[in-house]
Amino acid sequence: MSSLVWRFPDRPMEVFSLKMVKEGEFMCQKKVDGFFAVIIKDGDIKVLSRHNRKLDGVTPQMMESIKALNLNDGDVLHGEWTSRREANKNEGLYLFSFAFSKYEWLGGKTEEERHERLLSLKPQGSISIVESANTGYAQIYKSTIDDYRFEGVVLKRRSTMLVGDLRKSVDNPGFLKAKWRSGCSTMTRKVIPDCDLQTKID
């Protein structure tokens, strides 16, 4: 039987079947296979890694595209930067979350509210907003298979608020993810689901 594993990001916790996930309750986003990036506007633009270090290799062209977003001072975005992955050498920036707006922490707002704030941006060039939808989770998951840019999907409860550290979602029970690509993480179960999305709990 094929199997699909949902788990909390960043650690192998409880396993969920797709049948346990209520359609429409979550926002489904394609999971980009890149490097986590924190984009900060505080006078200048900074692009930092998960570890609060400058993300080396971001090109001047990408920095110009980020400037063209016309962010306000105090805005902080989360995204995935691509170019150094073996399968994805084309530079791109996929935005998926608005963390601060004019120095205001948005963690107290729902995922849906934060996403609406993100959609107000007008990305250009090689910057885009991660594709998302509130229904059709299985179809979105299926569309990522064998697309070198993606490694699965993330489900975010539409009503959830950010919990824990700015740069990881270990403690956030509103986030789940399923990855089809093996070897992406030492903590990801090595389960390659087929597209009928039946579930086996092992």
3-state DSSP of 176-195: EEEECCCCCCCCCCCCCCCC
Q: Is the pLDDT of residue 102 over 90?
A: yes
Task: Give the per-residue pLDDT at 59.
Answer: 92
Domains of the chain: 18-179 (3.30.470.30)
Min mean pLDDT across 82-86, 106-110, 157-161, 183-187 is at 183-187
Q: Is the pLDDT of residue 187 over 70?
A: no
**For all residues of the chain together, what is the average pLDDT?**
77
Average pLDDT for residues 184-197, to the nearest whole number?
A: 32
Q: Could you give the CA distance from residue 172 to residue 156 in angstroms, rounded to a whole number?
A: 10
Token digits for 43?
Answer: 């006078």
Name which residue leads in pLDDT, 180 or 82. 82
The DSSP 8-state label assigned to residue 109 in this structure reads S
Average pLDDT for residues 79-87, to the nearest whole number?
A: 77
Q: What percent of the chain has pLDDT over 70?
A: 71
